[in-house]
Amino acid sequence: MNRTNDPAAIGALFVVGIGGTTREGSSTDRALRVSLRAAEEAGARTHIFTGPFLARLPHFAPDHPARSEEQREFVETVRQADGVILASPGYHGGISGLVKNALDLLEDLRGDARSYLDGRAVGCIAAAAGWQASVTTLESLRAIVHALRGWPTPLGAAINTTEPNFDPAGACTNPKTLDTLVTVGRQVVDFACRYRR
C-alpha cells in the first residue's frame, strides 16, 4: 500500500479515536493511542475519546432527542472526522456497553450528507483475554462499522491481553502487536486520503 500521500490533502485529514475502558491505562486504551500516534505520524490531526469520557455519556435513547454537552461534543467531533479508529475490550464475546452506547449515539448523524460513518475509513481494535474473545469482538466491531456505512480498513487488530504487549509506561513492547496497530492507523489515513482524492 502506498504510504506516500499528498501533504496538502493529508494536512486537512482528521482522525477520531473512540474506545477504551473506565480504567485509565487499559490495554484497549493503550492500543488505541498507538494507532492514533501512527495516524499522526502519517500526517493526520487526531482527537481521542477514552473510556472515562464515554462513561459520562448518558444512555442513548432515540425517543429523547435532548443531548448532554458531552453527547453534542462527541457527535460533532465525529461529524468532522475523515477517519475513525474504534477500540473495544471484549466482554462476554462482544464489545463493551461503553463503546456500544457511544456508537449508538451516531444515530444523530443519520440525516447528514455523510450519514453515520459514510465516506469514513474506520480502523478496528479489539483487546481481550484470549484469542477467541478478541477475534469475536473484532468481528462485532467490523459488523457495526458496516451497519454504520463506514469502510473498515483491511487490517483489524485483535489483541490477546494474556500475552505481554505493553510496558508500564504504555509503550507497545510486542513487535507483532505494534506492527498491527501502526498499520491500522496508517491505513485509516491512507484510505481517508484516497477518498478525498
The residues spanned by each domain of the chain are 7-196
User: Which pLDDT belongs to residue 25?
Assistant: 84
- Pure H helices in the chain: 7-11, 27-41, 51-54, 69-80, 97-104, 131-147, 175-196
pTM, rounded to two decimals: 0.92
With a cut of 90, say whether residue 68 has pLDDT above it. Answer: yes
Residue 87 CB coordination number (10 Å): 36
State the Cα–Cα distance between residues 74 and 68, nearest whole angstrom. Answer: 10
Asked if 32 and 19 count as a contact pair (C-beta separation under 8 A), the reply is yes
Q: What grid cell was written down for 54?
A: 464515554
What topology does CATH give the domain 7-196? Rossmann fold (3.40.50)
What confidence category does residue 92 fall into, taking pLDDT thresholds of 50, 70 and 90? confident
The answer to whether 120 and 103 are in contact (CB under 8 A) is: no
Q: Which residues of 47-60 are buried (b: 16+ CB within 10 A; e: fewer)?
A: ebbbbebbeebeeb
Ranked by mean pLDDT, the top range of 56-65, 134-143, 188-197 is: 134-143
